Amino acid sequence: MCLFCKIVNKEIPSNLVLEDEDFIAFHDINPIAPVHVLAIPKAHIGSFNDIQADTMAKITIFIQNIAKKLNISKSGYRIITNIGNEGGQEVKHIHFHILGGAQLHWPKLT
């Protein structure tokens, strides 16, 4: 079982931000911005290459709700997902990084 599946199953604690029937969001343990949250589907989906359109539509709304809850929806935020080894995906369970709370730059984030 992957790390994020263990978080979904409450086998590993997380700093929960938001949860619904299909998704969970929690603070990243190594934040790179003042706001750094991970949003994941509860069902194990290996990567962005494997996600279905209907799940993508639902997680879009979920991420928008996270941004509202964390008061970054109006000031702005960044969503990142890494795909595969060369894309930097470390956990093979699709996840979206939601970054905000400061003026973000590229490649330097804060």
- Active site residues per annotation: 95
Let me know if 31 is exposed, middle or buried by CB neighbors in 10 A (0-12, 13-18, 19+): middle
Q: Is 70 exceeded by the pLDDT of residue 78?
A: yes
Positive or negative CA dihedral for 102, 105, 106, 108? negative
When the pLDDT of each residue in the chain is averaged and rounded to a whole number, the result is 95
8 and 26 in contact (C-beta within 8 Å)?
no
Of 109, 86, 85, the closest CA to residue 97 belongs to: 109
* Structure-block tokens of residue 61: 């709304």
Q: Which domains does the chain possess? A: 3-100 (3.30.428.10)
Within 8 A by CB and 6+ apart from 86, the residues are none
Q: What is the pLDDT of residue 110?
A: 56
What whole-number distance in Å separates Cα of residue 8 and Cα of residue 61?
19
pTM here is: 0.93
Q: What is the pLDDT of residue 2?
A: 93
Q: What is the pLDDT of residue 108?
A: 60
Q: What is the pLDDT of residue 1?
A: 86
Q: What angle do CA 68, 47, 95 make, to 5 degrees?
A: 25
Give residue-wise pLDDT tens across range 10-60: 999 999 999 999 999 999 999 999 999 999 999 999 999 999 999 999 999
75 and 4 in contact (C-beta within 8 Å)?
no
